[in-house]
Amino acid sequence: MDPRLADLIKLLDLEPLEVNLFRGESRDIGSPQVFGGQVLGQALTAAAATVEGRIVHSLHAYFLRRGDFNAPIVYQVDRSLDGHSFCNRRVVAIQHGAPIFNMAASFQIQEEGFDHQMEMPPVPAPETLPDSSRPPQEMLARLPEGVRRFLERPRPFEFRLVQPMEFLSQRKAPPARQVWFRAVDKLPDDESLHRRLLAYLSDYFLLDTATLPHGLPSFSGRLVMASIDHAMWFHRPLRVDEWLLYAVESPSASGARGFARAGVYARDGRLVASTAQEGLVRLRKESR
């Protein structure tokens, strides 16, 4: 397996410390704090470790404090419900003696029922789009050092953007974006693993979509942005080592907060998951 992907899977695995208590490490991916998707994926690992015979179908999380990637994170699980069809778990991530994140997740046995969905938006096939995993070298040279460090890091996923990313342009655009993505290598046939990896990846592209109508690229250095909450619903089986389309839109921004939601579609048009996020979007004081 590609070492980047193998390292991510290892990162999402946790060390059991005691009943309902787990410990995870972090990776410095070039951001000033622990990547939110990492905490989402690890918290889902902790919750799933206390559940048998059921698969996660939804999660709702809040980011409380910045995570320190130089220190371990402890995950404490509360077994809120073990029902006939559903299980519910609450997870608190703790670092330096304080909660940095909490999450509720629901798990369900496999059942048959009504089935309908919204259609996938018409977009070009991923093979017709350029690899957008990192900006061109000439663009990287013009970005702030912290941003450049973040974008240059090798990633375990490849991205194909339908709309080119505006790194420095002041051009305003509609608050919508479509991105094809997939893991860089083949993964085991483990639905739980694929959902944890999608949780990790789902923190990309959501919040910065809320900046598009305002002509202030998230990489310009003029914005303060941070996730506040994050929700996911898993609708159908999925594979993150096959192309998935992230169709993101931002219906609203107000009160120094941006809101975005997205559908995740398989190549064959199936809606496999949905996400939503609200986050802080604020101009730096010197930029006002």
Q: What is the CATH number of the domain that holds 236?
A: 2.40.160.210
Residue 119 lies in a domain: no
Least confident of 102-106, 211-215, 250-254: 211-215
- Rounded distance between C-alpha atoms, residue 44 and residue 13, angstroms: 10
Q: 3-state DSSP helix/strand/coil percent for the chain, to nearest 5?
A: 20, 35, 40
Decide if 265 is inside a domain: yes
In-domain check, residue 54: yes
Q: Which residues are catalytic?
A: 203, 227, 277
- Strands (E) in the chain, as ranges, are 15-18, 21-24, 55-63, 73-82, 86-95, 98-108, 157-161, 176-183, 223-234, 244-254, 257-266, 271-283
Which tokens hold the place of 265?
Answer: 């579609």
Assess if residue 97 is contained within a domain. yes
> Is 81 a member of any domain?
yes
- Domain assignment of residue 117, yes or no: no
pLDDT at 89: 98
Cα end-to-end span (Å), the chain: 47
189-to-203, 234, 236, 264, 283 alpha-carbon distances in Å = 23, 17, 15, 19, 44
Please report the pLDDT score of residue 186 as a whole number: 97
Note whether residue 125 is domain-resident. Answer: no
This prediction has a pTM of: 0.92
Does 92 reside within a domain?
yes
Domain that holds residue 283: 3-112+132-287
Q: Which residue has the tokens 């914005």?
A: 223
Under DSSP, the state recorded for 18 is: E
Mean local confidence (pLDDT), 170-188: 94
pLDDT exceeding 90 applies to what percent of the chain?
Answer: 78
DSSP tag of 163: S
Q: Are strands 15-18 and 98-108 parallel, antiparallel or unpaired?
A: unpaired
Work out how many domains the chain is built from and give that number.
Answer: 1
Residue 149 pLDDT grade (very low, low, confident, very high; cuts 50, 70, 90): low
